């Protein structure tokens, strides 16, 4: 299978986001003669200057490539806008990465989750129905596994017990996509991402917040007394997985009854090796010292506090990625130290330029 996407009209929603911007840059680097349309509402859930930085990086890269890049500031919940884009650009592939992210934020701000993650996704599905596409790829989340006790998490597991509104919206995306795949034969693939990290990531993620606090000399709280395990997945691995999935839509075929079998798949994309949060924090601290973000004699012990679990959180996330490997010959491979080293180097350049 070639690793190039050639001559396609592609919509990437959430294009100024962490995963979205990295995907657009990868498509510009490796694709040929594509038209890539990025949509983002540039909301202030976190520092907008970071989103602007990512867009500037895309612009720089796009200048020398033969694919076309178009950015549109707009809201996924704006049905008229979504329809207009589908009519104008006749998309072949749609990658829906726009969503209101964050488990904890969903407890205090439920409205934005319903608007973006439910209404916004419904608008995308309706547009794919009216203006058929070759493939709809959309972001789900490891949070759909909720309080499941069995690990590693498999896409065969039942996921009927979400423990946050965020998780419930992501599960509903999968259900809606399945219904639309069945009713309208829309090829769709959902991707359950596991704790994505890397340079220019989301500041609300633990590794980023820890870094900010350590730099200010504040104390960091390590939940569940450091006994949480997370399947940390480096962003480049996620992007490689998304790109491969984009190129291979689930097959349209009929069942024994002559009716379409839904061309629908869901995959985990995770590192397949959960890391203890305390180990993660120790590696992060070492790499921040190595990059010169923190001084070499930093007293880390004085700046960490072990605290109980938070509501809506789960003790372990761990992805079974055997289906991804079977269907695409791919599994994430970036080690935690390598990934955190790249993050620390980026952080030093972006924030410590003074």
pTM of the model: 0.95
Q: Does residue 176 lie in a domain region?
A: yes
Structural domain count of the chain:
1
Q: How far is CA 168 from CA 73, 162, 165, in A?
A: 27, 5, 5
Contact (CB, 8 A) for 78 and 122:
no
Q: Does residue 16 lie in a domain region?
A: yes
pLDDT at position 29? 96
Mark out the alpha helices in 110-191 (DSSP H runs): 110-113, 121-130, 165-184
CATH of residue 81's domain is 3.40.50.720
pLDDT at position 258? 82
- Secondary element (H or E) of residue 84: helix 79-89
Q: Does residue 352 lie in a domain region?
A: no
Q: Does residue 137 lie in a domain region?
A: yes
Tokens for 215, please give them: 């730099």
Q: Does residue 95 lie in a domain region?
A: yes
Q: Does residue 280 lie in a domain region?
A: no
Q: Does residue 281 lie in a domain region?
A: no
Mean pLDDT per 10-residue interval, the chain, length 354 residues: 85 98 97 97 94 97 95 97 98 96 85 95 98 98 88 93 92 97 96 95 92 93 86 95 97 86 96 89 95 94 89 80 95 94 96 72
Structural domain harbouring 183: 9-195+235-270+317-333
SS3 256: coil
DSSP string, 147-165: T--SSSB-TTS-----SSH
Residue 74 backbone dihedrals phi, psi, to 5 degrees: -175, 170
Catalytic residue IDs = 166
Tokens for 305, please give them: 């506090």
pLDDT at position 312? 67
Q: Does residue 15 lie in a domain region?
A: yes
């Amino acid at each position: 299978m070639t690793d190039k996407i050639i001559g396609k009209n592609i919509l990437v929603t959430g294009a100024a986001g962490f995963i979205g911007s990295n995907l657009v840059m990868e498509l510009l680097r490796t694709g040929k003669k594509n038209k890539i349309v990025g949509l983002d509402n540039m909301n202030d859930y976190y520092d907008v200057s970071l989103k602007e930085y990512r867009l500037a990086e895309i612009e720089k890269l796009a200048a020398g490539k033969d694919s076309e890049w178009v950015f549109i500031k707009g809201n996924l919940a704006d049905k008229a806008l979504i329809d207009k884009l589908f009519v104008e650009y006749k998309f072949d592939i749609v990658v829906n990465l726009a969503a209101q992210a964050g488990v904890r934020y969903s407890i205090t701000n439920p409205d934005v989750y319903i608007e973006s993650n439910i209404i916004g996704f419904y608008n995308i599905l309706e547009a794919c129905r009216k203006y058929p596409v070759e493939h709809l790829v959309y972001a789900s989340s490891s949070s759909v596994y909720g309080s499941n006790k069995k690990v590693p998490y498999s896409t065969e597991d039942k996921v009927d017990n979400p423990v946050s509104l965020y998780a419930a919206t992501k599960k509903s995306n999968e259900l809606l996509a399945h219904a639309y795949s069945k009713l309208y034969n829309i090829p769709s693939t959902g991707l359950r991402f596991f704790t994505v990290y890397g340079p220019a990531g989301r500041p609300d993620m633990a590794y980023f917040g820890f870094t900010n606090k350590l730099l200010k000399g504040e104390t960091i709280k390590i939940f569940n007394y450091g006994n949480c395990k997370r399947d940390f997945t480096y962003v480049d691995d996620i992007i490689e997985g998304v790109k491969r999935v984009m190129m291979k839509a689930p097959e349209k075929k009929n069942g024994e009854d002559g009716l379409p079998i839904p061309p629908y798949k869901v995959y985990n994309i995770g590192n397949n090796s959960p890391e203890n949060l305390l180990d993660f924090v120790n590696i992060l601290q070492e790499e921040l010292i190595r990059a010169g973000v923190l001084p070499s004699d930093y007293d880390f012990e004085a700046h960490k506090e072990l605290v109980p679990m938070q509501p809506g959180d789960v003790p372990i996330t761990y992805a079974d990625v055997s289906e991804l490997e079977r269907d695409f010959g791919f599994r994430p491979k970036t080690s935690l130290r390598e990934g955190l080293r790249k993050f620390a180097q980026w952080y030093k350049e972006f924030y410590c330029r003074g």
